């Protein structure tokens, strides 16, 4: 084997590894915003909303002994919503989404929904032998602490034009 072929055989995997690492580690703000929009679409989908509705309307009145009163459809919607929330938490931990956007867009809703479903998750942990949705529970705690600390204050746009100036600009 010639020295040139050895050089190519050694250098080729190194270059491909560097390109792969650089490509995967490179996450721009636009990529994080796109990921947020995808996650928000899932969070606002009708089945996830139905699951959060179960969390807020049905779960607070139930105890461990009465969770069997939930219908199969309610359980399905509930677990779907919890799975979506776990996905959001995984993206949050991995840094694939802009954390301040998650906090301001869905922080209160996420935190409240997880708080309402805590007893059901504890019940499921007893049945399964492991705690389901651990990242979502952790994220809900972080969001709650951030909200309590005042981190979720509404932000004003960089430039606000009075409505009259906008109308003048549009020729109205």
The structural domains of the chain, with segments of one domain joined by +, span 29-148
Question: pTM for this one?
Answer: 0.73
At 51 the pLDDT is 96
Low-confidence ranges of the chain (pLDDT < 50): 8, 152-161
At 159 the pLDDT is 45
At 138 the pLDDT is 96
pLDDT (tens digit, 9 = 90+) per residue, 7-26?
A: 545 555 555 555 555 555 55
At 161 the pLDDT is 45
At 150 the pLDDT is 84
Number of Cβ within 10 Å of residue 50's Cβ equals 17
Check the CA dihedral 114-120-126-129 and report its sign: negative
At 27 the pLDDT is 61
């Amino acid at each position: 084997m010639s020295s040139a072929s050895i050089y190519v055989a050694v250098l080729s995997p190194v270059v491909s590894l560097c390109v792969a690492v650089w490509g995967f580690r490179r996450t721009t703000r636009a990529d994080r915003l796109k990921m947020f929009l995808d996650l928000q679409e899932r969070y606002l989908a009708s089945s996830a909303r139905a699951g959060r509705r179960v969390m807020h309307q049905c779960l607070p009145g139930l105890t461990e002994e009465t969770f069997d009163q939930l219908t199969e459809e309610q359980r399905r919607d509930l677990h779907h919503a919890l799975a979506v929330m776990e996905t959001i938490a995984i993206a949050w931990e991995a840094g694939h989404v802009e954390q301040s956007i998650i906090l301001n867009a869905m922080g209160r809703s996420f935190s409240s929904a997880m708080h309402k479903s805590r007893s059901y998750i504890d019940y499921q942990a007893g049945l399964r032998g492991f705690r389901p949705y651990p990242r979502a529970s952790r994220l809900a705690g972080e969001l709650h602490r951030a909200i309590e600390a005042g981190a979720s204050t509404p932000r004003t746009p960089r430039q606000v034009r009075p409505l009259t100036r906008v109308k003048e600009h549009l020729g109205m």
